Structure 1
């Protein structure tokens, strides 16, 4: 089936029984291994059609499971001929989901009602049954931090060998030098803190893994939709709650009033400060290494490299994730010593 020469509309009709009349490419998200289309069917239905070239089908399995359990705000993928939420075309996973909204939370008008709905949806996600399939499928949240540190070391090594002349790499080298102290604090803290938390493991629940505002769509009457489950993990709830109570996006900080509205929907919760700090630290280092690596990838278009550089600059800004992670660590009363 991976070698089937049929075009997209025929693939979707053959695999999912939907006859598309309109397909429009959509450039959203940071995953350059995926292609996304906004599509319409002959009967007026609207769909998100995706070809994914990386990762695993875990996100589709999780979203289908949650939607099947009646968790609100989770678009359910259409089943293929064998009941799975995807088929294989051109060596990639083809999936079809309802196109639930054009209104994005990021940069949109997210009301208190939307924040309450956001809390309600995450609470239901965290309360969902962890089946044997999910337990065997989903990785632990934050469990990739050894690879994250290896990525940072690789960036360091490349910048040490860097010769001036590439404008974007030159600027990255300057930023990287400025951020050396703060980054050293985070790298020194991540493993000791993680070891302490492993000694007192938290309740592992289904987590979205990346529920920032860019993955929220807004509906009428305060409804929200949580999309893009590719980073789903099993982890303590703080893995998701850090996006509300820790802050992740420098250009979209969460206010105290928004946190309060979220709490109304989520229910009583007091996130563990140490777990919040650890997840924030892992995320900060992961984002920093990933985006810096993209700046150094000269095979990418200059516009993509410039965007990656801008994100690196935002990560170390006063409102950025590196700064927020350092602040969370220091609230624990034990600032790490830079190594």
Structure 2
């Protein structure tokens, strides 16, 4: 969230005191991230110890804090575990928000700073450890499983119908409507490819592992004072084929499409040799693009709220259609499919 939510410092400080026993001397809003439902702050305690405060509005599932805590307890050092409240909970309620407290790591995300060669290797090792994790049964049953749902595809079709029928006074919404109309044929193609590949995957048996499900480089945090990196923002963990996460490596979502082969080589040096299903990889790259289109339509067409987040959202969805960006990379991924399958699509 780029603009601060309507919530006073005093309320946040009081919550930290009452729920965590933390005496805060100063709190500062951090304009980070594209998620309009998440606001983050730095809180400095009386003893100058810094903490990272995350406020999450809307639906909140405790699995988003329980999974990283479990992984941290398994010894995966690239995880930052949420801190418990006085009563042992991993979050606290504050008005319309769920508040989550973490140790503060002074660092930069992969949006702000390119991962080094060693970072890519460490990232690969960490993700392999996550995918190999054996979950406690009581935790595993609470994590959603992949169903190859048509939800996002149907939602995009609804927005395509909406922009044909409505006019928008808000300039950002109007620009997005123009983009959807101009790219209608290409968007329809993306939806069709995701549908066809999803149908193939539903008909085959795949091994499901614990996936982060949104593991682009913006969710990689690199420590400024050490070589450590962390995988953050576990809002939607998923049991799915490993390609659900692997599709992000070299997909161009980080704006590094021209370095895709370089990044993939280093990542897999850390992850290790593995058989990657080209059908699943292509499906997830198409489906992610469709999901992004739907999410930005929700953000920009259903409300005029959001301030600077709106203009940034429009910039991000527009960039996906640029030459060499995520859509072009998805097309190239499809070309890796077996010829007999390509002929049926």
Deviations 1:253-305 (A, max 9, x none): 54322222211211112321111111111111000121133232452256433
Structure 1 runs of 4+ aligned residues shifted over 6 Å read none
How many Å apart are 1:178 and its aligned residue? 2.9
Q: 1:192 matched to which residue of 2?
A: 196
Q: Which is worse superposed, 279-288 or 172-181?
A: 172-181
Structure 2 unmatched ranges of 5 or more: 1-8
1:97-246 paired onto structure 2 within 5 Å: 97-141=102-146, 143=147, 145-163=149-167, 166-219=170-223, 220-246=225-251
How many Å apart are 1:325 and its aligned residue? 2.2
Q: How many residues align?
A: 333
C-alpha distance in structure 2 between counterparts of 1:36 and 1:165, whole Å: 31
C-alpha distance in structure 2 between counterparts of 1:191 and 1:177, whole Å: 21
Judging changes above 3 Å, is the alpha-carbon distance between structure 1 residues 41 and 313 closer, same or farther for their aligned structure 2 residues? same
Judging changes above 3 Å, is the alpha-carbon distance between structure 1 residues 255 and 190 closer, same or farther for their aligned structure 2 residues? closer
Kindly indicate whether the alpha-carbon contact (under 8 Å) linking 1:188 and 1:336 is maintained by their aligned counterparts in 2: no
How many Å apart are 1:152 and its aligned residue? 0.4
Q: Which is worse superposed, 290-299 or 235-244?
A: 290-299
Q: 1:312 matched to which residue of 2?
A: 317
Kindly indicate whether the alpha-carbon contact (under 8 Å) linking 2:21 and 2:86 is maintained by their aligned counterparts in 1: no
Kindly indicate whether the alpha-carbon contact (under 8 Å) linking 2:163 and 2:181 is maintained by their aligned counterparts in 1: no
Judging changes above 3 Å, is the alpha-carbon distance between structure 1 residues 336 and 20 closer, same or farther for their aligned structure 2 residues? farther
User: If the length of structure 1 is used for normalisation, what is the TM-score?
Assistant: 0.89
C-alpha distance in structure 1 between counterparts of 2:150 and 2:54, whole Å: 30
C-alpha distance in structure 1 between counterparts of 2:67 and 2:259, whole Å: 27
2:329 is aligned, of 311, 321, 324, to 324
How many Å apart are 1:165 and its aligned residue? 5.8
How many Å apart are 1:323 and its aligned residue? 2.7
Judging changes above 3 Å, is the alpha-carbon distance between structure 1 residues 164 and 255 closer, same or farther for their aligned structure 2 residues? closer
How many Å apart are 1:316 and its aligned residue? 1.6
User: If the length of structure 2 is used for normalisation, what is the TM-score?
Assistant: 0.88
C-alpha distance in structure 2 between counterparts of 1:45 and 1:166, whole Å: 43
Kindly indicate whether the alpha-carbon contact (under 8 Å) linking 2:257 and 2:326 is maintained by their aligned counterparts in 1: no
- Secondary structure, aligned partner of 2:102: strand
1:36 is aligned, of 37, 40, 43, to 40
C-alpha distance in structure 1 between counterparts of 2:205 and 2:227, whole Å: 35
The alignment yields a C-alpha RMSD, in angstroms, of: 2.4
C-alpha distance in structure 2 between counterparts of 1:68 and 1:253, whole Å: 37
